[in-house]
């Protein structure tokens, strides 16, 4: 009987995740989480392998901000039933990514010299890509909200 309860709860969780993924904003938010949480590791691995300087992973504060951004994106995916709260979390995530971008721009301008391949600012594209994905998610959420409001008017 316990196995049945475990399997049914796993099935319910998978069904809930499948319902979330059907919405385009969930896809955008999952991509934003992957960009913030995984792409930073890929960029760091390839750049440090070649001995280049990279702003972002050298201090744990930057890394924790990236992980916070990824966590906020994942949390926003699970808030699909409350679209207004989902939008608020996305806006906070946008502010966090704009802060990261500002720090990158500042530190890139303060770096001395030019690297061989001019890769010192490649980390700036991670928050930019995340910002674009979050804006697209907010646009899709707004479209869903308008659709629900128009359906309520018809009733």
Residue 94 lies in a domain: yes
Distances in Å between the alpha carbon of 102 and those of 6, 74, 89, 149, 153? 46, 23, 20, 37, 43
Is pLDDT larger for residue 14 or for residue 88?
Answer: 88
Residue 48 lies in a domain: yes
Residue 78 lies in a domain: yes
Residue 18 lies in a domain: no
Residue 47 lies in a domain: yes
Residue 49 lies in a domain: yes
Residue 74 lies in a domain: yes
**How many domains, the chain?**
1
pLDDT band at 97 (very low <50, low <70, confident <90, very high): very high
Residue 108 is part of which domain span?
26-150
Residue 5 lies in a domain: no
Question: Which pTM was predicted?
Answer: 0.75
């Amino acid at each position: 009987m316990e196995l049945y309860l475990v399997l049914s709860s796993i099935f319910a969780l998978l069904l809930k995740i499948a319902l979330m993924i059907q919405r385009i904003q969930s896809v955008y938010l999952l991509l934003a989480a992957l960009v913030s949480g995984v792409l930073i590791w890929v960029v760091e691995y390839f750049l440090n392998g070649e001995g280049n300087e990279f702003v972002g992973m050298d201090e744990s504060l930057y890394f924790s901000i990236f992980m916070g951004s990824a966590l906020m994106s994942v949390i926003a995916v699970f808030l699909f039933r409350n679209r207004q709260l989902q939008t608020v979390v996305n806006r906070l995530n946008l502010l966090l990514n704009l802060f990261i971008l500002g720090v990158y721009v500042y530190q890139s301008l303060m770096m001395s010299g030019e690297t061989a391949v001019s890769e010192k600012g490649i980390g700036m594209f991670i928050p930019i890509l995340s910002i674009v994905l979050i804006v697209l998610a907010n646009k899709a959420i707004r479209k869903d909200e308008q659709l629900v409001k128009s359906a309520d008017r018809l009733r």
